[in-house]
Amino acid sequence: MATTTRRPVALAAAVATAAALGASVLALPALAADGPDKAAGGSPVMELKEGTLDWGFKESFRTYLASPMAQGKTTVAGGAKQAANNGVFTFVDGTGTYDTGTHATANSFKGSVHFEAHHGVLDITLSDVKLSTKGTAAPTGEITADTVTKANDGTFVTRDDVAIAALDMTAVRPGQGAGGAMVFKDIPAKLTKAGAEAFAGFYQEGAALDPATLTVKAGGGPKPTPTKTTTPTPTPKPTRTTAPPTAAPTTAAPTTAPTTGTPSVLNGKLTWGVKESWRSYVVNTCGGKATTTGGATKNGAVYDFALGSGTWDAKARETDAAFTGTVRFECAAHTIDLAISDVKVKADGSSGTVVADVTTAKGTRNDVTFAALDLAKADYAAKNGVVTLTNVPATLTKDGAAQFAGPNGEAFYTPGTAIDPVTVALTVDKDATLPSTTTGGTTGGTSGGGSGGGSTAGGSTTVGGTVGGSGALAATGADLPTGALLGAAGATAAAGAAVVLAVRRRATRS
């Protein structure tokens, strides 16, 4: 045998040797080692049989589906198996070919895996999984699968042979398995451009996927060179049915509260973060942004809204104040575009409301009763010319929760869900100075008496455009609107995102 060159042992080389020597030796043969790859013209084709592919797609995705937040399940069928403890999947009964001229291999497997979560919003099945390789000096490969994507209108769109994973074979060494099988363990896999598009941007091209392990046996000998088949025309990518997000609303002139019988407020501000886990999801997990305009400004992790007008009556324990400014949450990957403006706080004794104009892709709704306020511990008295309602607990109303609904009515949050508390500071004396105030997170702070000095009870969430941390969905709060976001995006997510890639089982092939 000719002396072998020192280069990575590719799948093709090992298959050729095993076929020639009865699968008893795993060495690089002369036909694969000497000279460049050859053209296919008339070269014999070896049969591959009894193959299996062990691949879990992405471990963090499987973990997410099994979480209480996703309420999902995974089902295998058609002969596919899943390892214990939510492990990887094994696709079975693999058959394929090895071209002795080009050293290319092609392997097809039986079995499908069906992912479900969020009460049907997430629905994905992978079937007709294939693994192919080519080259010897710098061998590469890919994993493809048939997919059916659930569109926003609830229909299913079929796509055949979607290239999901790119494989790097350069450092892969074959081992020997039972019955003389060749085992190519832990083949590195990354998401392809087509895979990223199929998952609607929840993962970026090049994202690491689970490594794949291929087990295959060489057949009895060369087969006739197969007739070249025409590559099927891929099904066009479905057109997104969700209407493009509406631009953030122009801040409307605040409604002036009645002044009869009550002193006018001279200056003031509202400090509020809307909802900490929502900000974290949009900015940190989704990779989106939160912007302020028209009198609203960023204040640490939350926002300040400037006073438009207001009234205050300490004896009656009433405050009615309107604020200017808009905060807009955007994430194109998940079709999120939600803007809140013209915020008003109405306080009467031990209760109150937050009212706002809300703009989504469906349009603008004015004067939505967004949140209910608990003012049982509020102090309406002015101190040093300043009235401060500090960290007033707030919960979503039915109308407020509805503003977060997905395109098909999927509920992000339910009425009564705690959101960020509000802090209102109002000056009623021309010589008074507004305090520097920040507000706590969703569960932080109580409604206490204001001293004019403000309060600080900041959370750890930072509002910005940089994706921080691991980006894991599970790390962003148990009350995140993951299911509805997945439905809106019509794609996939896990470990920083989620999937709505619905892949239908194909009809039994002849």
Tell me the pLDDT tens digit for each residue of 405-431: 765 566 678 899 999 999 999 998 888
Which tokens hold the place of 294? 């028209």
DSSP assignment of 146-190 = EEEEE-TTS-EEEEEEEEEEEEE-TT--EEE-GGG-EEEEEE-EE
Instruction: For residues 125-133, give the mean pLDDT.
Output: 92
Q: Determine the Cα–Cα distance for residues 105 and 48; give it in Å rounded to an integer.
A: 9
* Cα–Cα dist 2/229, whole Å: 35
Q: Cα 241 to the chain's mean position, in Å? A: 19
How many Å apart are CA 18 and CA 92, to the nearest integer?
A: 21
- Report d(CA 429, CA 439) in Å as an integer: 24
Residue 332 above 60 pLDDT?
yes
* Of 71 and 165, more confident: 165
Mean pLDDT of 8-26: 48
Q: Given this model, what pLDDT does residue 99 score?
A: 82
> What are 70-107's pLDDT values in tens digits?
788 999 999 999 999 999 999 999 999 888 777 788 99
- Closest by alpha carbon to 16, among 38, 202, 468? 38
| 27-46 tens-digit pLDDT | 323 223 333 334 345 567 88
Average pLDDT over residues 112-141: 84
Q: 4-18, 130-144, 161-175, 242-256: which range is least confident on average?
A: 242-256
Residue 482: predicted pLDDT? 40
pLDDT at position 495: 31
Q: Where are the alpha helices (DSSP H) in 25-119?
A: 30-33, 59-65
Q: How confident is the model at residue 8 (pLDDT cuts 50, 70, 90)?
A: very low
**Are the C-beta atoms of residues 407 and 152 closer than 8 Å to each other?**
yes
Q: Which residue has the higher pLDDT, 374 or 432?
A: 374
Confidence of residue 468 (pLDDT cuts 50, 70, 90): very low
CB 458 within 8 A of CB 438: yes
Which of 432 and 505 is assigned the larger pLDDT?
Answer: 432
- Encode pLDDT of 348-396 as tens digits: 999 999 999 999 887 899 999 999 999 999 999 999 899 999 999 999 9
How many Cα neighbours within 13 Å face the side chain of 490?
22
pLDDT at 478: 37
Distance CA 327, CA 299 (A): 12
What is the amino acid identity at position 331?
Answer: C
Instruction: Give the Cα-Cα-Cα angle 159, 163, 169 (nearest 5 degrees).
Output: 160
Q: Model pTM? A: 0.45
Could you tell me if 328 and 248 are in contact, meaning their C-beta atoms sit under 8 angstroms apart? yes
**In the chain, domain spans:** 11-31+43-223, 267-468
Residue 442 scores a pLDDT above 60: no
**Residues in CB range of 260: below 8 A, 6 or more apart:** none
Of 461, 451, 447, 421, nearest to 270 (Cα)?
A: 421
Q: What letter represents residue 6's amino acid? A: R
Mean per-residue pLDDT, 320-336: 89
Mean pLDDT of 197-213: 80
CB neighbour class for 229 (10 Å; exposed up to 12, middle 13-18, buried from 19)? exposed
Q: How high does pLDDT run on average in the chain? A: 73
Among all chains, which residue has been given the structure tokens 């083949």? 187
The share of the chain scoring above pLDDT 70, in percent, equals 65
Among 21, 1, 74, 65, smallest CA distance to 482 is for: 65
Q: Which residue has the higher pLDDT, 316 or 18?
A: 316
The mean per-residue pLDDT over the stretch 208-228 comes to: 73
